[in-house]
Amino acid sequence: MKKYQIILTGLMCAATVAKAQRLPLDSVLARVVANPALMAYDAKASAQDVYATGAKSLDAPKISAGQYQVPYQLNPNGGAFMIQAEQMFTNPAKLRAKEDYMKGLSNVTKEDKNYLKNQLIAQARQYYYERVVLEKKLVQLQNTESLLEYMLKDANIRLTYGKEKLPNIYKAKADLFELDNTREQLSNEISQKNIMLNTLMNRTQQTTFTVDTTIVLKEYETSITDTAMLAAARSDIKGINRNIDLQQLNMQMEYAKRKPDFGIQAGHMQSYGGYANQYILMGSITIPIVPWASKEYKANLKGIRYEVEELQQKKLDILNQAQGQLAGYRTDMGSKKRQLKNYQLNIIPALQNTYKTSLQAYEQNTGDLPSVLDGIKSLQAARMSALDRLQELLTLQVAYEREYEKY
């Protein structure tokens, strides 16, 4: 009965894997745009555009009614009942400047969204590559397990004929069982990467999928940083440029405060006691250039100039740091590639020869099982270390592409 349960469980697991959707890296990155954090920026930009449509609205008119110049003493012939309306007209130049400024807010928000999008895509690349390397480690683990099972089977046969020692067989079993812990750890890390990727794609966290284990290594270590291209590509730099443009619009809005506003006032007086009715019709104009009124916008204009200078310096600092980061990444990538090549061409082949030599000696009864087991473990450790170097190289590649916003 237990045997049938094991077979049934295995079939269910196989069916789950078969149903799992295969998602290449491009498909994962295409789904990142559905992340709620990015959609929140879209809603914010839309709100700012809508707010800008009301920028040219005027102040509400004012209507008043009541007694006008009526004496406190009862006198049917004194005073009047007056109805009055007032309307202020903001200078059109002020309204246009305000509208342009409010329209510029959404441009900054859109670049902020692009900056976050670049960060999320870099995270998705990182998690995806980590998942790919973990899959490759599982394959290496399976190869090691096959070698240990073969050695354990051979050792048990030799034990029957008294050509093997029982402690060596226990050591081989321990090494085999130790692989179960390693497999459990790798499987747990794969599940964690799945959850992180599903979260970035705004999908159910437990959704299973398979990945494309094909890895393309870029030749970034031979590149040269193009400052103009870097500035044109980075959304944080473009965001600073949009902020500078916004401050220029803010300056125009402050400068427009020098212009006067206009108003009109009209009133009708219904006189008491048979006197002739009267009216009021007056225009008004503000005088914002007087010293006590102009002090504010003059100070604001001066402050905005300093803010623009701050943004310019911040942009130079970001470009300077980015160039340094890229140069460091290129140097590190070159080093990691040389290390990886050394593993592939020298270290792993040498350890393979060590394992084969010890295995051959064991089969010829001139060697012992512990030497073969040590050879297998050393070979596995080297292959795992090579995959670690590969992961480090891919991490550097993701960081380099994040700096250049290559997505």
In percent, how much of the chain has pLDDT > 90? Answer: 74
Per-residue pLDDT, 19: 62
Q: Which helix (H) or strand (E) holds 285?
A: strand 278-285
Q: Which residue has the higher pLDDT, 7 or 113?
A: 113
Asked whether the beta carbons of 45 and 108 are under 8 A apart, the reply is: no
SS3 327: helix
pTM: 0.85
Report the SS3 class of residue 214.
coil
The answer on pLDDT for 9 being more than 90 is no
Of residues 379, 319, 325, the one with CA closest to residue 352 = 379
Q: Is the pLDDT of residue 125 over 50?
A: yes
Residue 13 has pLDDT above 70, yes or no: no
- The 10s digit of each residue's pLDDT in 215-257 is 889 999 888 888 888 888 899 999 999 999 999 999 999 999 9
pLDDT, position 363: 86
Kindly tell me the number of DSSP H helices and DSSP E strands found in the chain.
10, 6
Q: What average pLDDT is seen over the chain?
A: 90
Tell me the domain boundaries of the chain: 19-404
CATH superfamily of 19-404: Outer membrane efflux proteins (OEP) (1.20.1600.10)
* pLDDT at residue 405, rounded to an integer: 85
Q: What is the DSSP string of 148-202?
A: HHHHHHHHHHHHHTT-S-HHHHHHHHHHHHHHHHHHHHHHHHHHHHHHHHHHHTT
Q: Which residue has the tokens 């920028």?
A: 55
Residue 227 has which token pair? 């400052």
Taking only the tens place, the pLDDT of each residue in 129-154 is 999 999 999 999 999 999 999 999 98
